Amino acid sequence: MTIRLTDLPDEVQAAVQRTREEVAALHAELTRYELVVWTAGNVSGRVPGAELMVIKPSGVSYDELSAETMVVCTLDGNKIDDGTPDTLAPSSDTAAHAYVYRHMPEVGGVTHTHSTYATAWAARGQEIPCVLTMMGDEFGGPIPVGPFAIIGDDSIGRGIVETLRGSRSPAVLMQNHGPFTIGRDARASVKAAAMCEEVARTVHAAMQLGDPIPIPQEFIDRLYDRYQNVYGQH
């Protein structure tokens, strides 16, 4: 039976609307940081207090996105009757996002891009080594590579979960595909995507000059702890 948004409690409907507005606005950050081209890429957000997610519609230009065009799905990846036209389908990556939400309850946002440098590392099937203090801060070590998987079912989602469960990194480079990032909310996942591309570009440049110097694990641990628990406003 199809779930109708209007049949859900008022507080859930309000949470869906807030999530739609946030996810729609965050797509502008993907174009701002040049992480996507044309209609590629997507951001999703878990709806607080409900077994629902909000995600970009498939194949829609970024300048046509709004809160009203964001698609609401169950955590099985099925679109609900959310007021959008039946012809407005969710992203082709919906199954992957949904799998992550089902198996990583701490995750509140997922972002996928084909950003140039991170995707180049993915094409080589090579992790990005932790040779920058900002990598220690944000990723707690190298950015790992996930297995090759085809779009269409939850294979990509399984690869993301299997890879990131054993890593402090919020980013994974899916082999021959591109980066997927997670966060406590949608905004954090977009930040991780921007940071992933930045370090991918910088480490690539360093490798053109010679062999980058690895950071010892003890210092990576200290960098990560400081950034996650002390840095910024609390």
57-75: per-residue pLDDT in tens? 999 999 999 999 999 999 9
177-226: per-residue pLDDT in tens? 999 999 999 999 999 999 999 999 999 999 999 999 999 999 999 999 99
Please check whether residue 66 is in contact with residue 100, taking contact to mean a CB–CB distance below 8 angstroms: no
128-173: per-residue pLDDT in tens? 999 999 999 999 999 999 999 999 889 999 999 999 998 999 999 9
Neighbouring residues of 54: CB distance < 8 A, sequence distance ≥ 6: 16, 19, 20, 23, 44, 45, 47, 70, 71, 72, 73
Domains of the chain are 5-229 (3.40.225.10)
pLDDT of residue 86: 86
pLDDT-above-90 percentage for the chain: 94
Residue 101 annotated to the active site: no
Please check whether residue 146 is in contact with residue 161, taking contact to mean a CB–CB distance below 8 angstroms: no
Strands 71-74 and 178-183: unpaired
The reported pTM is: 0.97
pLDDT of residue 29: 98
Both tokens of residue 221?
Answer: 């641990």
Please check whether residue 149 is in contact with residue 161, taking contact to mean a CB–CB distance below 8 angstroms: no
Nearest to 143 by CA among 218, 200, 86: 200
The active-site residue out of 33, 76, 137, 221 is: 137
Residue 33 has pLDDT above 70, yes or no: yes
Residue 224 annotated to the active site: no
Return mean pLDDT, the chain.
97
